[in-house]
């Protein structure tokens, strides 16, 4: 052992000399310095190890910090993307909701229109059915009436008043009119026939207040018709070559005033009539 280098008093049995004590002290000092150096080396090694550990920890911390920053940046990017996606989804949902609302409103309007049209169609169908039933009833009644007239079993009308309604046809289906209208029509028809015949033959019962031109052509006169009705004869055109009447009209002052007109005739060079338009009555 290193202590074996010490010169102890017990070993010597005497008091060590100054030189021995000094040697002992130097030895102890060396030992102390060696121990201190060893301790310092151990401490330095430990410190170096701790520094390396701290350095490694710092490096890991920096790596972790960089990773954290990277992760934070990625998270921020993801957050921005997520927010934009959420906003896009929100806008899309809002637009789709608006479209759905519009479509729902249109569907409601269409449904209302369809309901109204269905109601109208139902009403029209009912009216058509009613009209068809009425037409069928009228046809049946008309058939029965015609059958009764045809076989002579219809009730006799008795004395006619003119207000009775009888069937008539004008080529466009069955019509109806009254006996009075038929009477008036026949009366007017036969009167027109007589007036045309009387004018064509100049069958006037009398003439008065006669006026003539310088060639003695009749210009106007008050007349009496064969049935006693008064009237007026008026010349409308006198031939310029021969003294003759080319056109005239005659009034009939009956229950209904009528005017019989002879449009202008055409004559040849000898004054003979070559074209005579038909007489009209208004």
pLDDT digits (tens, 9 = 90+) for 36-56: 677 666 666 665 676 567 577
Sorted by where each begins, the domain ranges of the chain are 1-140, 183-281
Give the CA angle between residues 119, 125, 128 to the nearest 5°.
140
pLDDT of residue 75: 64
Q: Is the pLDDT of residue 1 over 50?
A: no
Phi, psi of 163 (to 5 degrees): -95, -5
Tell me the average pLDDT across 107-133: 78
Q: Is the pLDDT of residue 214 over 80?
A: yes
Residue 61 to residue 55: CA distance in whole angstroms = 9
Higher pLDDT, 61 or 201: 201
- The residue among 260, 258, 213 whose CA lies nearest residue 237 is 213
Q: Which tokens sit at 255?
A: 């229950």
């Amino acid at each position: 052992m290193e202590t074996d280098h010490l010169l102890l008093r017990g070993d010597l049995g005497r008091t060590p000399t100054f030189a021995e004590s000094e040697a002992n002290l130097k030895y102890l000092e060396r030992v102390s310095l060696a121990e201190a150096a060893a301790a310092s080396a151990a401490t330095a090694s430990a410190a170096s190890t701790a520094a390396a550990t701290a350095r490694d920890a710092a490096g890991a911390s920096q790596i972790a910090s960089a990773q954290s920053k990277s992760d934070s940046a990625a998270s921020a990017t993801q957050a921005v993307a997520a927010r934009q996606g959420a906003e896009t989804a929100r806008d899309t949902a809002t637009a789709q909701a608006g479209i759905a609302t519009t479509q729902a409103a249109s569907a409601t309007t269409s449904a209302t229109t369809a309901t109204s049209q269905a109601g109208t169609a139902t009403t029209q169908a009912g009216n058509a059915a009613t009209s068809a039933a009425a037409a069928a009833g009228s046809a049946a009644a008309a058939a029965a009436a015609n059958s009764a007239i045809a076989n002579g079993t219809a009730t006799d009308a008795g004395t006619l008043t003119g207000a009775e309604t009888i069937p008539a046809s004008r080529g466009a289906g069955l019509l109806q009119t009254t006996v009075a209208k038929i009477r008036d029509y026949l009366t007017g028809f036969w009167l027109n026939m007589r007036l045309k015949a009387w004018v064509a033959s100049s069958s006037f019962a009398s003439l008065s207040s006669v006026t003539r031109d310088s060639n003695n052509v009749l210009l106007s006169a008050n007349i009496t018709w064969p049935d006693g009705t008064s009237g007026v004869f008026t010349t409308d055109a006198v031939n310029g070559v021969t003294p003759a009447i080319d056109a005239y009209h005659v009034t009939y002052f009956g229950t209904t005033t009528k005017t019989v007109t002879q449009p202008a005739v055409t004559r040849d060079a000898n004054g003979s009539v070559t074209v005579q338009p038909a007489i009209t009555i208004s």
